[in-house]
Chains A and B, each alone.
Chain A
Amino acid sequence: GDSVTQMEGPVTLSEEAFLTINCTYTATGYPSLFWYVQYPGEGLQLLLKATKADDKGSNKGFEATYRKETTSFHLEKGSVQVSDSAVYFCALSGYKAAGNKLTFGGGTRVLVKP
């Protein structure tokens, strides 16, 4: 079945540091890939998405490129802020996934210190 693996956290960074969160997936066909972010006490919010190979999703300074050859969708940001402290989830939705079912990774907690 479909699965998503992302690096375990927590990841602790200083403000203005470069952030990378690795995400790899297993799926049949051509899934859509997503990054969701969860701020403390809130639900998940869509951060960015990519629907086909070589697509780059971007939002709020974050970027991720759909790499089919390496089955990866790593999240990057060039200069993080304290406000980026959150839990980040990589997810996929397979073309034949029933009910728009998203398969999530376990989440990576990011803490940015001033």
Chain B
Amino acid sequence: NAGVTQTPKFQVLKTGQSMTLQCAQDMNHNSMYWYRQDPGMGLRLIYYSASEGTTDKGEVPNGYNVSRLNKREFSLRLESAAPSQTSVYFCASSEVQGYNSPLHFGNGTRLTVT
């Protein structure tokens, strides 16, 4: 009963390095999302994929790229990490894209950029 699985759980990068955060869901959900969580700011949407084959920018997309590899997997890439990208990253999925469809979250990736 895995739900949404994110890897890695923790990562430390130096400024300018790149990395990809992986996310997979086993609930046959159509829509997937990447959020970042910063203290006192709640969660902010980075990118989302309403369905396989589509991706769109969210609230804070600068410095990130995404790939919807298939229905199950949605990855987030940092091409050149910056200290401002130090955050906890959450992947989420929902059955459909719709304002009544609740999100299911992974356990997060804690990223530190030095």
A, B bound: yes
Report how many residues on chain A are interfacial, defined by Cβ distance under 8 Å: 29
Residue pair B102, A99 in contact (C-beta under 8 Å): no
Interface string of B53-85 (1 = CB under 8 A from A): 000101100000000000000000000000000
Whether, in the assembled complex, A104 has its beta carbon less than 8 Å from a beta carbon of chain B, the answer is yes
Specify which chain A residues have a CB less than 8 angstroms from the CB of B41 in the assembled complex. 106
**A104 CB contact (under 8 Å) in B42, B98, B108:** B42
With A95-B99, A100-B98 already in contact, the answer to whether A43 and B90 are too (CB < 8 A) is yes
Residue pair B43, A44 in contact (C-beta under 8 Å): yes
- A-B pairs with beta carbons under 8 Å apart, 7 shown: A41-B107, A43-B106, A93-B100, A98-B56, A100-B31, A101-B59, A102-B45
Measuring CB to CB, which residues of chain A are less than 8 angstroms from any residue of chain B? 4, 8, 31-32, 34, 41-46, 49, 51, 89, 91, 93-95, 97-107
Q: Could you list 9 further interchain pairs (A-B, Cβ under 8 angstroms) beyond the known A43-B107, A100-B33, A105-B42?
A: A42-B107, A43-B105, A89-B42, A95-B99, A97-B99, A100-B97, A101-B45, A101-B58, A103-B42
